[in-house]
Amino acid sequence: MTLPSLPTRVAVVGTGLAGLRTAAELRGQGFSGHLTVVGEERVAPYDRPPLSKELLTRTEPVDLAGEGYGDLAALADDLLTGHRAVALDADDGGARLTVAGPAGTREVAADVVVAATGASPVVVPGWTDVLTLHDLDDAARLRGLLRPGTRLAVIGAGWVGAELATVAAAAGVDVTVLEGGPVPLGHVLGPRVGELLLPWYAERGIALRCGATVTTADAGGLGLTDGSRVAADVVVAAVGVRPSTGWLSGSLPLSARGAVPVDLTGRVRGGPASARAVGDCADRHSPRDGVVPGAHWDGALSHPAALVADLLGAAEGPAPDPAPYVFSTQLGRELTVVGHVPPGAEVVLRGEPGAGPWTALYVVPDADGAPRLHAGLTVDRPRDVGALRKALSGAEHPVLNPAAAADPATQLRKTLT
């Protein structure tokens, strides 16, 4: 469905990177109507990756306005910080948003509401006195607790868990990481590549226990299914995030994990024309990659441009479908994942893990048996990142020459057709 006319009133819900960039794109692409922006946090938009990557060395947030991403105070006609969305009533003719703030609830009428409320850390019921690392308050609390000799238990060896463990161990904290799977990041990178990450923890003086299922968690430590206990002064759960979409229940379609299903322009699949979603709260449906979950910085940065172009009737040609892109600094290495890693993909290693920079290429044979490149992980090998981003942003996955690609001296682009 499409709007009957171009919008004159837009409400953006969320003041993280996706919400900020949506507001900035609206003004940058010529929207002169009334813009309302709603956000729970009272502080100006800040960059979240440094919260884990630089937890103990950066005490002040990275202000996104100062970095050139946009200034909400200048962009919005009404900026409602300290307010949270509680309900949405939307149809093809417009939307009415209910928000709650210090003075009670109020309604905001708009032609279009853009959901950019991000994601929230998973909190397991029954785990008491367990911390998370997601926002400024979380980071400040952890900085006050982590000292040399402090015993830190991190539940989860994913992106945030590994980054937190890295900075804590470097500061003299006694770190133990508990991972339910057989290898770190196995759910993202697959078992073969995840196994290559195992030695990194011991190199940094971090105790890693894989296949460890936590049954109880409190301020004194963790109880495991095998009956053992891990003593800890501080426990942090880093077991993933869920889209912050409770306020949309009953008003928009939601996936099993609670994400808003959208196309490449942020239009809600099966939803009203007056609603859009972008960033970590949305699942993008890519003609090339299928369903691509949000929850990564690059998507929050880049996807609002296509959403706004479509909303204002300014899109030229098909919406772009950039390859998913994730970066991480952990355990003494720089990691980049480009593309969407499919389950069961074959892995072509480019370089020798443990002997310097390397890249893992994820290949799936097509119906004719041709090896199609779907994703790549680079480890301290930035020269491959550009080639991967270009190759994996086309209309279809390129064919890889595995034998040629396995030679790290060969330019990656020359192994693709």
Question: What class does CATH assign to 123-237?
Answer: alpha beta
Q: What DSSP character marks residue 329?
A: E
Residue 110's CB is within 10 A of a number of other CB atoms, namely: 25
pLDDT at 295: 64
Q: What is the pLDDT of residues 300-342, one digit of tens each?
A: 999 999 999 999 999 988 999 999 999 999 999 999 999 999 9
Per-residue pLDDT tens digits for 79-99: 999 999 999 999 999 999 999
Closest among 260, 16, 282, 240 to 123, alpha carbons compared: 240
pLDDT for 166-205, tens place per residue? 999 999 999 999 999 999 999 999 999 999 999 999 999 9
| Whole-prediction pTM | 0.95
Domain over 332-415 is classified CATH 1.20.140.10: no
Position 296 scores a pLDDT of 82
Same fold, 9-120+241-311 and 332-415: no
Domain segments of the chain: what residues? 9-120+241-311, 123-237, 332-415
- Please report, to the nearest 10 degrees, the dihedral formed by the alpha carbons of residues 404, 407, 410, 415 taken in order: 30
Instruction: For 245-287, write each residue's pLDDT tens digit.
Output: 999 999 999 999 999 999 999 999 999 999 999 999 999 999 9
Give the ranges where 101-176 is alpha helix by DSSP (H).
136-145, 159-170
Cα–Cα distance list, 268 to 13, 258, 312 (Å): 15, 13, 16
d(CA 194, CA 182): 9
Q: What is the pLDDT of residue 1?
A: 60
CATH number for the domain formed by residue range(s) 9-120+241-311 = 3.50.50.60
Residues of the chain with pLDDT > 90, as a percent, come to: 95
pLDDT beyond 90 at 57: yes
Lookup result for tokens 């095998």 = 226
Confidence of residue 145 (pLDDT cuts 50, 70, 90): very high
291 pLDDT more than 80: yes
